[in-house]
Structure 1
Amino acid sequence: MPSFSFGAVARSGGRRRRIAVSLALAGALGAAAACAPSSAPAGADTDAKASAKPQIDSDFDLDALVAEAKKEGSVTVYDSTGDITKTAAAFTAKYGIKATGVKSKVGDTLEKMTRENQAGNVTIDATFYEDGPSLVGQLLAQKVVYTWIPGTLAQDIPAARQNPLQILSKGNMWIYNPKLFPKGCPVKNVWDLADPAWKGKVAMQDPLGKPNIVEFFNQLKAGGDTQLRQAYKTKYGKELPSGDSAGEAWIKALAKNNPILTSSDDDAAAAVASPNQTKDRVALVSNAKFRDVKDKNYSMRVCTGMQPWAGYQYPKYAAVASKTEHPAAAKLFVYFMLTQDGVDTQLGTGGVPGNPTLKQGSVMPDGLTDWNKQLFVFDPAGLSSDFDNLQPTQDLWRLNHG
């Protein structure tokens, strides 16, 4: 197989036009959320961008819910990973209820659920959703969806994971090709990624087309300052100027170092790990890409020991469509994902269940030994702020990337 080519990425401006359209839509929806009058129930935060309080079903009865869901007959759930088809198949096998799982990018899901809610013609009953800021700032704020939690499990799930309901965490991590670098990852520090030696050699999905990278940037600005400053001192032997935001400084430096921006994680992984690859590159990819080691004979490993983190965890949240005609089936699907049988369908390449009483996936990406210690972990308390800072952070990246 020939080594990866970036011709498909650079050939035309079509993809960038589609990204621009998506961003314009997101901006319009955000403006609508900010201007619309609040319809929050009594006792809920009346800020239009604040998430509605979760519905904790204190009278939860699993048998009664299953019986009602069977009467409804079916359920459709959208997710940004193809693993949703496995979850749907397992759900149908367990409960005898027809479930359809649809892989959809978060931006497409946001648009479709919003339009369906406005039209009163809902086909998406629930979503497993990876973009926390738009979930909190748009879908929940506009009552397009709501958070539902079975009362019997509420005590097992930390409060920080309930609003919105976190069902799973996956990871984006820095990888290298061990065949080209048998002594280990050539990048030891996140500031190395901004070093001239790695100019044009860092592959990653375009942040303007992948919301959780922008969220990562915002989370870094809010919660990564101390670690980034220490990593800077370790590399350069001096302090980062105290007046600078460490997060903003790193984002600007990375953008200016001309990273190779791709339209998908598939392309970023191929840039590093595809068979016969000879280029000395590193890449930021989802842990799901490690299935390509077996499926495509890729050579890839997590940058073990990279300081202060080898990547970041990104949460996946569950939400039920407010106007669904299958509310019981949608709730049952959420409940299923909070059990071992359900979450196991999405742990084929690893991950951390949102319900901490469940076991983590037995498969671990090569080089990753501890999800919480090696990866930066998002703070869900910052989701509303992340939503507010979406455009400024996109502009920061856009203005500094060559």
Structure 2
Amino acid sequence: MKRKLLCALLCVSTVAATMMTGCGNSSESTKEETKEDVSDTSSETEKTDATKETQDVKETEMTQEELIEAAKAEGTLRVYGVHSYLEKAAAAFQEKYGITVEWTQLGETELMDKVSTECQAGISDGADLIFAQDGARISADLITPGYIHQWSSDRLGALTGNSDMSLSVFEYSAKAFIYNNEKTGETPYLTNIWMVTDPQYKGFFSMKDPTAEGVNFNFLTMLTSDENAAKMAEAYKEYYGKDITLTTDNAGYEFIKMMYENGVVLGTSDTKISEAIGAKGQSDTWVGFFAVQRFATAAEKDLALAMNTEMSPFVGWYYPIYSIILENAQNKNAAKLFVEYMLSEEGWSFWSENVGDYNANTSLPYAGDISFEDWKKIAIGEDLDYVYKNRAVVEDFISSIQ
């Protein structure tokens, strides 16, 4: 396949992120007191930090039997999510409990825009529960305005290690640098992240356009943190044999700049990218950054895909997919029961064979040879507070170099 064909398969799309404020809760619900002084006069910027302490609204926890009865007494549970597997889980949940579930699959940007609009307008028949993955927009569009219902569960806390369910993690998903191994065979081909900036491989690297998927923007943002940028600088010296000369703030920004200058091919779908990268019979060895779960269908689609788990300084990254009950939800108990169901072996069964997906309930099975603990050693993870504070800067930077 020639480069023209790959580019044709991977057309570029753009989105506009919209921030909504001021609805769903009373204005008092977004205010908080500090532990030291209730008359604290710290700035609004400090008060809207993505990791700010929430109000103490701990409810009396129901037993599972009580929760089931309360959930059945409510109406139709409305769920929005970004993954098709959720529809299968919703159908199984409905059959199990007799609770009608209205399921809507949306792209991440569309989902966040829709939920923000519904919360701002106080729509009563909007989503009760959402499954979303763009941490930066969740922080800006849902946490800061006070649209997230705060609740806790000691029962789920025992499974996940965190009883605060206000912004609970359902699963962690992984993306990695993956290449076509038809010509490389068993020899690891991609050994260093800076390879995709090397002029001799110009135009042979593809990833989903960050403006079409926020988690890719979050990944690029994480590269600019002091810790990760230091690792990137070390990897640069390892690959190019010399210290990095900076024209930007740090090695993370420098990588982003060099990646774009080296002709990164931006696509609109991880699935399409994996199929284009892994197609057999190509004269060149292509590299892509996409969801590890694409390995699940590689054999079925006869794709030649491989990942080097010893790549420097890391093989990819992982990020949370959150289950979020909205403050203006009309069916909160049904939503809580669904969250509980998704952390059970039955609920997880629709994902359990996906390589690169890990349930927040670590006792549940995972596919592949790499445990989540091992994955965290070879990949970088999302820092919600960092992406919340810095993504806009990275977005502006990328706009300035395109």
Query: Is it true that 1:322 corresponds to 2:324 in the alignment?
Result: no
Superposed, which structure 2 residues align to 1:125-136 within 5 Å?
Answer: 125-136=128-139
Q: Report if the CA contact (8 A) 1:84-1:102 is conserved.
A: no
Cα distance change of structure 1 residues 221 and 159 upon mapping to structure 2, 3 Å threshold = farther
SS at match of 2:325: strand
Moved more, 128-137 or 100-109: 100-109
Q: CA deviation at 1:236?
A: 2.4
Q: CA deviation at 1:318?
A: 1.2
Superposed, which structure 2 residues align to 1:180-199 within 5 Å?
Answer: 180-199=183-202
SS at match of 1:323: coil
Partner of 1:373: 377
Cα distance change of structure 1 residues 312 and 118 upon mapping to structure 2, 3 Å threshold = same
Q: Report if the CA contact (8 A) 1:77-1:125 is conserved.
A: yes
Give deviations 1:36-66, integer Å, cap 9, x for gaps.
9663254479724546728654523211111
Partner of 1:388: 389
Cα distance change of structure 1 residues 65 and 306 upon mapping to structure 2, 3 Å threshold = same
Cα distance change of structure 1 residues 148 and 364 upon mapping to structure 2, 3 Å threshold = farther
Give deviations 1:245-293, integer Å, cap 9, x for gaps.
1211211121211111111112211221124444321001112322331
Cα distance change of structure 1 residues 71 and 294 upon mapping to structure 2, 3 Å threshold = farther
Partner of 1:141: 144
Pick aligned residue for 1:66 from 45, 65, 68: 68
Partner of 1:257: 262
Partner of 2:118: 116
Pick aligned residue for 1:217 from 217, 220, 231: 220
Partner of 1:40: 30
CA distance in 1: counterparts of 2:286 and 2:111, whole angstroms? 33
* CA RMSD of superposed structures (Å): 3.1
Cα distance change of structure 1 residues 216 and 130 upon mapping to structure 2, 3 Å threshold = same
One-letter amino acid of the counterpart of residue 376, structure 2: N
Moved more, 39-48 or 299-308: 39-48
Superposed, which structure 2 residues align to 1:261-276 within 5 Å?
Answer: 261-276=266-281
Q: CA deviation at 1:147?
A: 4.4
Q: CA deviation at 1:241?
A: 4.9
Q: Report if the CA contact (8 A) 1:78-1:102 is conserved.
A: yes
Give deviations 1:128-148, integer Å, cap 9, x for gaps.
110111112211221222343
SS at match of 1:29: coil
Cα distance change of structure 1 residues 371 and 102 upon mapping to structure 2, 3 Å threshold = farther
Cα distance change of structure 1 residues 145 and 197 upon mapping to structure 2, 3 Å threshold = same
Aligned residues: 383
Give deviations 1:103-138, integer Å, cap 9, x for gaps.
211211111111212232232110111011111221
Q: Report if the CA contact (8 A) 2:131-2:323 is conserved.
A: yes
Give deviations 1:322-359, integer Å, cap 9, x for gaps.
11211111111112222232233223313222233x22
Query: Is it true that 1:279 corresponds to 2:281 in the alignment?
Result: no
Partner of 1:29: 20
Moved more, 306-315 or 145-154: 145-154
CA distance in 2: counterparts of 1:353 and 1:254, whole angstroms? 32
Q: CA deviation at 1:95?
A: 2.3
Cα distance change of structure 1 residues 341 and 43 upon mapping to structure 2, 3 Å threshold = farther
One-letter amino acid of the counterpart of residue 84, structure 2: G
Partner of 1:234: 238
CA distance in 1: counterparts of 2:262 and 2:166, whole angstroms? 37
SS at match of 1:97: coil
One-letter amino acid of the counterpart of residue 309, structure 1: F
SS at match of 1:6: helix
Q: Report if the CA contact (8 A) 1:53-1:163 is conserved.
A: no
- Structure 1 residue runs of 5 or longer lacking an equivalent are none
CA distance in 2: counterparts of 1:132 and 1:185, whole angstroms? 32
SS at match of 2:174: strand
Cα distance change of structure 1 residues 146 and 198 upon mapping to structure 2, 3 Å threshold = farther
Partner of 2:156: 153
Partner of 1:177: 180
CA distance in 1: counterparts of 2:318 and 2:369, whole angstroms? 14
Partner of 1:205: 208
Q: Report if the CA contact (8 A) 2:157-2:164 is conserved.
A: no
Query: Is it true that 1:248 corresponds to 2:253 in the alignment?
Result: yes
One-letter amino acid of the counterpart of residue 326, structure 1: N
Q: CA deviation at 1:360?
A: 3.7
Partner of 2:38: none
Q: Report if the CA contact (8 A) 2:148-2:324 is conserved.
A: yes
Q: CA deviation at 1:161?
A: 8.4
TM-score scaled by length of structure 1:
0.85
Query: Is it true that 1:303 corresponds to 2:313 in the alignment?
Result: no
SS at match of 1:169: strand
Superposed, which structure 2 residues align to 1:67-86 within 5 Å?
Answer: 67-86=69-88
CA distance in 2: counterparts of 1:163 and 1:180, whole angstroms? 48
Cα distance change of structure 1 residues 385 and 372 upon mapping to structure 2, 3 Å threshold = closer
Partner of 2:359: 353
CA distance in 1: counterparts of 2:137 and 2:67, whole angstroms? 29
TM-score scaled by length of structure 2:
0.85
